[in-house]
Structure 1
Amino acid sequence: MEQSLAKIVFYAYTAVIGVGAVMAVTERGLVRSLVGLIATMFGVAGLYLLMAAPFMAFMQILIYIGGVSVLIFFSIMLTHAAPTGDEAKRRPLRKRINAIFAMLVPAAVLTVGIVKHGTSGFERPEAVSLPDLGMGLMGPYLLAFELISVVLFVAMAGAVMLAWRQWGRK
């Protein structure tokens, strides 16, 4: 009973990820595409919860949904991008076909790998406590951790520069 419920929840999260990803790629408006991206990130956070990694789910929500998506939203709002452009009107069917193809190719590769090698090839990883995780992030992975913050800072500075140029033209 418990495993069948876990499978149902897994398929629900996978559906949220798939629908959000297709929405992010096919929507004409940038804000609607961002909503699809946010739905995809919520689905990934749900999968983290399903894998019994609540800290990773919380970080997914905090950093990606709370930080990156808000940064993207501010970038969209500050640049005053038109919701539909000539390119969006020209080939919506071709874009949808490309989006579906981009989704099916990795799915096919992963399916072939799972069918060929099975799913029992990995050992269950050992549980890591939060203090040990914190020491790892502040020890051997400090450079990678800091580089992520630099990338986010550069993205925010770029959004401000774009907005500054837009406001300077008015």
Structure 2
Amino acid sequence: MLTLAYVVLIGHLALILCGGFITILAKSLVRALTGLIMTLFGVAGLYFLMAAPFIGLMQILIYVGAVSVLIFFAIMLTQASSTGEEGQKKRRGKVKYAVMASLAPAIFLGLAVIRTAPPGNLTPQETSVKFLGRFLLGPYALPFELISLVLFVAMAGAVLLGFEKRIPQAGLETED
């Protein structure tokens, strides 16, 4: 049974890493978004593996559903194009910096976990949704509501950017 858990963990980690590489290396923004969605599904799978089904479902609903659709609308409304040949050369030069920037937190966090490793006999306990709801909406009601405000502002900004490019700026010429 423990071997199966390790296989599932490695599968989710592979899904996260593959999605991350697709996101970074994709030439198209829509393909990069597909890689991001793949990564977010892998993270949701890790939540399910940690016996936190409510958080896993919220990961899927909020990030995979709402945020991904928001990013997709922003891409479509702004009509962002993929980079040309010059952008590809600059991008290749920055890959080493991206790898170093992504490995640095992993190394520091890995060392912190190794130094202060918790006892191995701890087992995760399932938390009821009722308790979790009271916990989130009690002292954390304001941050919970601010998240929805941030999503709304991001969507309004995407729509505004989309309309600015399409509406001609007639009549706004100034005389010198």
Q: CA deviation at 1:80?
A: 0.6
What amino acid sits opposite 2:9 in the alignment? F
For residues 153 and 86 of structure 2, the distance between their equivalents in structure 1, rounded to whole angstroms, comes to: 28
Hey, what does 1:69 align to over in structure 2? 68
The alignment partner of 1:28 has SS state of coil
Percent sequence identity is 49
Return the offset for 1:10. 0.7
TM-aligned CA distance change 1:75 to 1:122, over 3 Å: farther
Q: What is the number of equivalent residue pairs in this alignment? A: 169
Residue of structure 1 equivalent to 2:9: 10
Map Cα deviations across residues 6-62 of structure 1 (whole Å, 9 max, x no partner). 111111111111121122122221111111111110100000010011111111010
Could you tell me whether the CA contact under 8 Å between 1:22 and 1:99 is conserved in 2?
no
- Looking at secondary structure, tell me which structure has more helix per residue: 1
Gaps of 5+ in 2: 170-176
CA distance in 2 between counterparts of 1:54 and 1:7 reads 18
1:41 maps to 40
Asked whether the 8 Å contact 2:51–2:126 carries over to 1, the reply is no
Separation of aligned partners in 1, 2:50 and 2:125: 13
CA RMSD of aligned residues (A): 2.1
- Unaligned 5+ residue runs, structure 1? none
The verdict on how the C-alpha distance between 1:86 and 1:158 changes in structure 2, with shifts beyond 3 A counting, is farther
Q: Which runs of 4+ in 1 moved over 4 A?
A: 121-126
Quickly say closer, same or farther: Cα 1:128–1:73, change in 2 above 3 A: same
